[in-house]
Amino acid sequence: MSGPGSAADRLRALGLTLPELGRDSNYVNHRAAGSAIHVSGQLPYRDGELLGRGIVGRDVDVPAARACARQAALNALAVAAAAVGDLDRVRIVQMLVFVASTPELGEQSLVADAASELLVQVLGEHGRHARTAIGVAGLPRNSPVEIQLVCTAGSAP
């Protein structure tokens, strides 16, 4: 789906829009360090509601966790676009996916794939990235997934 048109066009073709960004008084949504832009960990919020709660493999199944990962990636894309000024300028370097999961789950990468797929669908080759998917004991607000990005700003097409 990374065909012609702008990244915003491809996002709309998927039936998606970038969400509004929230603020926190204790940290910023992103921070530039040289040419790298570090996007703070994003949870799977949609319209102010967390899409899931609990541990993957116990409270949350893998398909629901994949939907959470996709939403968290969309939220991270919104932060990245705000950081560089335009979605078409976003170049993903690395994605770190935290999956709150049971020790025996072993499907963290399958959960993370949903986020990776969205980035490539929207940004094409600029969405391809290095990635780490990690199983953890718990995440903030009992979220099943959290996603952190490192990106750079390229020139718009």
Q: Is residue 1 part of a domain?
A: no
Is residue 58 in a domain? yes
Q: Is residue 92 part of a domain?
A: yes
Q: Is residue 131 part of a domain?
A: yes
pLDDT digits (tens, 9 = 90+) for 57-103: 999 999 999 999 999 999 999 999 999 999 999 999 999 999 999 99
The reply to whether 2 falls in a domain is no
Query: What mean pLDDT do residues 45-52 have?
Result: 95
Is residue 20, in this structure, part of any structural domain at all? no
Q: What is the pTM of this model?
A: 0.95
Q: For 91-148, how does the pLDDT look when each residue is reduced to its tens digit (9 = 90+)? A: 999 999 999 999 999 999 999 999 999 999 999 999 999 999 999 999 999 999 999 9
Q: What is the pLDDT of residue 157?
A: 67
CATH of the domain at 45: 3.30.1330.40
Residue 91 lies in a domain: yes
Give the number of domains in the chain: 1
Model confidence pLDDT, tens digit, residues 29-46: 999 999 999 999 999 999
Residue 22 maps to a domain:
no
DSSP assignment of the chain, as one string? ---SS-HHHHHHHTT--PPPPP--SSS-SEEEETTEEEEEEE--EETTEES--S-BTTTB-HHHHHHHHHHHHHHHHHHHHHHHSSGGGEEEEEEEEEEEB-TT---HHHHHHHHHHHHHHHHGGGG--EEEEEEES--GGG-SEEEEEEEEE----
Residue 74 structural domain:
7-14+29-152
Q: What is the pLDDT of residue 1?
A: 44
